[in-house]
Amino acid sequence: MRVVITGGAGFLGSHLADALLHRGDSVHCVDNLTTGRLANLDHLMGHPRFRFTEHDVTLGLPVAGPVEAVAHLASPASPPDYLLRPLETLAAGSRGTEHAIELARRRGARFVLASTSEIYGSPELHPQPEEYWGHVNPIGPRSVYDEGKRFAEAMTAAYARSYGVDCGIVRIFNTYGPRMSAGDGRVVTNFITQALRGEPLTVYGDGSQTRSFCYVDDLVRGLTAMIDSAEPGPLNLGNPAEFSIAELAGIILRITGSASPVRYLPLPQDDPPRRRPMVKRAAEALGWHPGIGLEEGVRRTVAWFHTVERGALL
């Protein structure tokens, strides 16, 4: 089948492209390269079933020919990235989603939206089931991302109801792995690059806030299964093993063998104190279970930064 991936030059989009090409699909990635990079796709250039177009999806989605699925991943995704680009982030969630789902409607294609655990905001319910409507500050700095994705979910549901578009929503929880951009400011990249450079690990707040970290290969298996299914979702995709940020710092220091100290910095506004997915629905609907634990995933990610991203550590 032919799959269009918006945001295909990013961390998740490029891994999804690899997985789809590997099983025989054709892939057309569309990306404006704001937070993604061509280096993530270098190895695919020249592949007979791969195509790349540099384009901003908020302006339209110029894709010719038949399309069987559209995976909409285009959006700034790390907090520093979307805080730096508030209006672009809202546009990616709103206009970008409209263009992507319109393409799916016109071609009779399946549409899969990459939503986020952030739609739960600062959750009052723990762990988070898909039935939970969330607790989001609509005018706080993070709202451009949270509300942009909530709008994207609403638009997806409305297209399914109004036009019968075959839609699926996945809510992705913190995912990490090779090809994360060294400067993206996410906690796993910050801690690994800081540990490898011998710089202090920057823990925001007292480090007691929690996240549940999913390794990229597990996540991409879930995304692929969602593309193949007729499941509307929303489905949480994430690893339910929950760690405090202080624990994560300890694990990364141990695996890298780094002697870096920990430096405590203020907690950013509206930073969710706890986050952990319930993944029963994804297990039932897709037969999906994450398989790679945090230590193993961090080992693989550290190895990648060591070998491939050496330059970014200098």
Question: How far apart are CB 187 and ligand UDP at their closest, in Å?
Answer: 3
Q: Does 58 bind ligand NAD (CB under 6 A)?
A: yes
Residues 191-210 that bind ligand UDP (CB under 6 A): 202-204, 209
Distance of closest approach, residue 185 Cβ to ligand UDP, in angstroms: 6
Closest distance of CB 81 from ligand NAD, Å? 6
Q: Is 92 in the site for ligand NAD (CB under 6 A)?
A: yes
For 141-159, give one letter per residue: b (16+ CB within 10 A) or e.
ebbbbbbbbbbbbebbbeb
**Which residues are catalytically annotated?**
145
Stretch that binds ligand NAD, among 68-76, 99-107, 196-204, 259-267 (CB under 6 A): 68-76
Tell whether residue 233 is a contact of ligand NAD (CB under 6 A).
no
Nearer to ligand NAD, 159 or 213 (CB): 213
With CB under 5 to 8 Å by kind, the binding choice for 297 among ligand UDP, ligand NAD, none is: none
* Distance of closest approach, residue 74 Cβ to ligand NAD, in angstroms: 4
Where do contacts with ligand NAD occur on this chain (CB under 6 A)? 6-7, 9-13, 31-36, 56-58, 73-77, 92, 96, 114, 116, 172, 174-175
